[in-house]
Amino acid sequence: MFPRASALALCVSFAALLSAGQSAALELPLPPEGEDLVGEIQVIKAKYEDTFAALGEQYDLGYLELVAANPGVDPWLPGEGTDIVLPTRFILPPGPREGIVINLAEYRLYFYPEGQNVVHTYPLGIGREGWGSPVGETHISAMTSNPAWYPPQSIRDEHAAEGDPLPRVVPPGPDNPLGPYKMTLAMPGYLIHGSNKKFGIGMQVSHGCFRMLNHNVLELAGRVKVGTSVRIIDEPYKFGISQQKVYLEAHTPLGSEEKNLTLMDRHAAVVNTLLQRDEDAGSLRLDWETVREIIAGEDGLPIQIAEQNQALASQEESLF
């Protein structure tokens, strides 16, 4: 078995390296070819004034990421001295490691700068139910500093119905919901932008666009350019390899239908995802009890579920 507690114990020593004032975005070295994990899980002691919203801003984590990784902890009053797991180890999204990759299910953006052996990753706010963010491939078509906001009629109607009418134009400034920067996507109507609200990063809150913390959107804007590719996926279950070990990372599916699936149905979805990812997966000796715990927990932490050399050993045994 590879239980959650054991996985955390292997990673928390990294927390000793943290500085109390950390606020830089996550820049992580890419793993060797054929491997998929980056970063390390961290554990900190909560201070009296800490909240998950404030910790998310400090460590570039989304609100729901922190909630999922810390079951049973009050997100608004964790309590002085409470251990807080920072889920800063990630299985890289499947597919090419180039440009921007957004995984809706984990409320997270990954950027692979060309010619550099690193990945930058940032938490996102995404489209709420009824205003879902799209899936597909596109690119950045325009970049605008200090943008004005021209709310579409549908959003103006929504606000008017709630007794909060909007003007036709919201000028740049602290009341502008686009924050200090916007990157327009070639998908009409969709943006990557900052926000005038800190709460909501790492949640389903927008009308389909992708919200970032303001310091993150400014940093990303300095790294990308018009034409940078953007690939948007929705993968609640990610598999990865690290040092001949197989890991599974599970997030809560976004759709209401997927959320209501039975544990058995979700188990089948995970197995299908693994088989699609790796044609040799059928030869792995998976720890099914751990797989079930990960699927049920949906805590977003990469947990070991098998070893590749086990599969090789079983193949060798079959030759005799």
DSSP state of 132: P
Contact 220, 182 (CB under 8 A): no
Which of 193, 207, 215, 267 does the annotation list as catalytic? 193
Q: 4-90 belongs to which CATH class?
A: alpha beta
Beta-sheet strand order (sheet of 237-242)? 237-242, 245-250, 303-307
pLDDT of residue 278: 59
Annotation says 193 is catalytic: yes
Contact 17, 220 (CB under 8 A): no
- Matching CATH number, 99-233, of 3.40.50.2300, 2.40.440.10, 3.40.30.10, 1.10.10.60: 2.40.440.10
Q: Is the pLDDT of residue 200 over 90?
A: no
234 has which bridge partners?
none
How would you classify the pairing of strands 126-127 and 204-206? parallel
Annotation says 209 is catalytic: yes
DSSP state of 125: B
Task: Give mean pLDDT, residues 275-286.
Answer: 63
Domain extent listing, the chain: 4-90, 99-233, 237-317
pLDDT of residue 215: 94
Find the distance separating the first CA and the last CA of the chain, reported in whole Å.
27
The 10s digit of each residue's pLDDT in 17-52 is 343 344 456 899 999 998 999 999 999 999 999 999
Which of 11, 120, 207, 209 does the annotation list as catalytic? 209
Of residues 166 and 236, more confidence is placed in 236
| Total-model pTM | 0.85
Token pair for 319? 């030759």
